[in-house]
C-alpha cells in the first residue's frame, strides 16, 4: 500500500480565496482516502482543466509548503 496514491473521497472548487491564494482561483481541493489508510486534504493539479470526481484515482506528485498536490491517474 502507498501513501502516494488514493481515491477521491470528496472534492470542491474554490472560487473565492484569501489574498495569499487569490491568483490561484479557481482551484480544486479534495479529501483523498490514501491506499495506506487515513485521509488527507490536498490540492488537485489538472493539466487540461479537468476536475477530479468522487472515486477517481489520484497520485501525489509534490508537496508545497506542507500541502500535498495530487494528479488524476489516467
> Considering only 7-11, 19-23, 66-70, which range has the smallest mean pLDDT?
19-23
Number of domains in the chain: 1
For 1-74, strand residue ranges (E) read 5-14, 27-34, 39-45, 57-64, 67-72
Model confidence at 49, pLDDT cuts 50, 70, 90, reads: confident
- Percent pLDDT > 70 in the chain is 99
Q: Provide the CATH number for the domain around residue 13.
A: 2.40.50.840
Domain that holds residue 22: 5-72
Confidence check: pLDDT of 41 > 80: yes
> pLDDT at position 48, please?
83
User: In terms of Cα–Cα distance, which of 74, 3, 65 is closest to 32?
Assistant: 3
Amino acid at each position: 500500500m502507498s501513501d502516494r496514491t488514493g481515491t477521491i473521497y470528496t472534492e470542491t472548487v474554490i472560487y473565492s480565496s484569501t489574498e495569499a491564494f487569490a491568483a490561484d482561483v479557481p482551484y480544486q481541493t479534495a479529501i483523498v482516502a490514501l491506499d495506506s489508510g487515513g485521509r488527507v486534504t490536498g490540492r488537485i493539479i489538472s493539466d487540461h482543466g479537468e476536475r477530479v470526481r468522487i472515486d477517481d484515482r489520484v497520485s501525489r506528485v509534490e508537496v508545497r509548503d506542507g500541502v500535498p498536490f495530487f494528479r488524476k491517474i489516467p
